[in-house]
């Protein structure tokens, strides 16, 4: 069994480097020959709510998804903290494209399964991250039912766009800072390794795949599992490939 996974691409607008990167990933023969294709969150820098404007704004992406699904590929999407409340958006997508088998596109907060004796756990990473109480509060608010209702039914698209531009500026600053020195990355890397070990103690698995940290890592834990993170895709220009339990990073270009 072969799986390919990417996260944290942060596409801002159609035609940008991030979109080129994601389309190259989705069109790569290696990725297309995978049994499972995982999009593990923050694929878009801002996609909140079921606004059909996204179909126009990111038409290259949706065309690619359409073509992958129509050729029978299986896609697994985990919402990130930049692209969420989008289940309804995909319901609308499959309503428009009635010819497509919607069961080939699955969305969940995490995916767990066993293949050739190994247990996989794939998620975005924000839910497992330790030492981030402020984020946990933020997440519980934005995913609460009143706000979920607001995002899905009422929040106007132009407002989301403004929020997006604001939060993108903030995360750009954060990314530049995060990548300024190798020593800056170590605490984040260590925190995610600890987070993985803490999750392992609660939920057993052999392979944990996630993103969110923006720090690339492949860690073999003494506890007896492997943790892999592809980092910020625009910097790493790679994706995660797992073939019969063997993990590797592959270049996109």
Nearer to Mn ion, 127 or 206 (CB): 127
* Shortest Å, Cβ 188 to Mn ion: 12
Q: At 215, is the secondary structure helix, strand, or coil? A: coil
> Residue 109 contacts by C-beta under 8 Å, 6 or more apart in sequence?
78, 79, 123, 124, 127
Q: Does 129 bind Mn ion (CB under 5 A)?
A: no
Q: In angstroms, what is the minimal distance from the CB of 171 to Mn ion?
A: 9
Q: Which stretch binds Mn ion (CB under 5 A): 11-19, 21-29, 77-85, 182-190?
A: 77-85
| Backbone conformation region of residue 244, classed left if phi is above 0, alpha if psi is from -120 to 50, else beta | left
Contact 252, 21 (CB under 8 A): yes
Among 21, 57, 58, 81, interactor with Mn ion by CB under 5 A: 81
CB of 113 to Mn ion, least distance (A): 23
The residue from 49, 50, 80, 231 that contacts Mn ion (CB under 5 A) is 80
When asked if residue 230 is in the footprint of Mn ion (CB under 5 A), the reply is no
The residues in 152-211 that bind Mn ion, with binding defined as CB under 5 A, are: none
Q: Pick between residue 42 and residue 226 the one whose CB is nearest to Mn ion.
A: 42
**CB-based contacts of 102-110 (< 8 A; 24+ apart in sequence):** 104/69, 104/72, 104/73, 104/74, 104/75, 105/65, 105/69, 105/74, 105/75, 105/77, 106/74, 106/75, 106/76, 106/77, 107/76, 107/77, 107/78, 107/79, 108/76, 108/78, 109/78, 109/79, 110/78
Q: Per rule CB under 5 A, is residue 214 in the interface with Mn ion?
A: no
**Closest CB to Mn ion among residues 27, 174:** 174
- Give the closest residue to 225 by CA, choosing from 186, 191, 195: 195
CB of 54 to Mn ion, least distance (A): 18
Q: In what order do the strands lie in the sheet with 118-123?
A: 110-115, 118-123, 207-210, 225-229, 217-221
Stretch that binds Mn ion, among 74-82, 105-113, 132-140, 225-233 (CB under 5 A): 74-82
Return the number of the residue (9 or 69) whose C-beta is nearest Mn ion.
9
Nearest residue to Mn ion, by Cβ distance, number only: 212
Residue 165 CA neighbour count, 13 Å, CB half: 5
| Least spacing, CB of residue 80 vs Mn ion, in Å | 4
In whole angstroms, the minimum distance from the beta carbon of 40 to Mn ion comes to: 9
42 binds Mn ion (CB under 5 A): yes
| Contact flag: residue 212 with Mn ion (CB under 5 A) | yes
Residues at the interface with Mn ion (CB under 5 A): 42, 80-81, 212
């Amino acid at each position: 069994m072969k799986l390919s996974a990417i996260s944290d691409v942060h596409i801002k607008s159609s035609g940008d480097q991030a979109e080129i990167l994601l389309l190259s990933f989705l069109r790569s023969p290696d990725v297309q020959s995978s049994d499972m294709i995982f999009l593990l969150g923050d694929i878009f820098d801002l996609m909140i709510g079921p606004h059909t404007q996204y179909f126009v704004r990111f038409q290259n992406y949706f065309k690619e998804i359409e073509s992958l699904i129509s050729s029978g590929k299986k896609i697994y999407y985990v919402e990130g903290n930049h692209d969420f409340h989008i289940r309804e958006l995909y319901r609308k997508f499959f309503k428009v494209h009635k010819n497509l088998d919607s069961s080939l596109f699955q969305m969940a907060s995490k995916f767990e399964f066993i293949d050739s004796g190994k247990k996989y756990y794939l998620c975005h990473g924000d839910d497992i991250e330790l030492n981030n109480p402020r984020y946990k509060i933020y997440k519980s608010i934005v995913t609460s039912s009143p706000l979920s209702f607001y995002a899905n039914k009422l929040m106007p698209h132009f407002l989301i766009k403004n929020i997006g531009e604001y939060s993108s500026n903030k995360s750009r600053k954060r990314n530049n800072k995060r990548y300024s020195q190798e020593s800056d990355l170590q605490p984040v890397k260590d925190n995610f390794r600890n987070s993985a070990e803490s999750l392992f103690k609660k939920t057993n698995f052999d392979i944990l795949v996630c993103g969110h940290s923006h720090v690339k890592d492949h860690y073999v834990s003494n506890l007896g599992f492997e943790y892999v993170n592809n980092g910020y895709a625009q910097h790493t220009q790679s994706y995660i490939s797992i073939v019969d339990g063997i993990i590797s990073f592959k270049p996109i270009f």
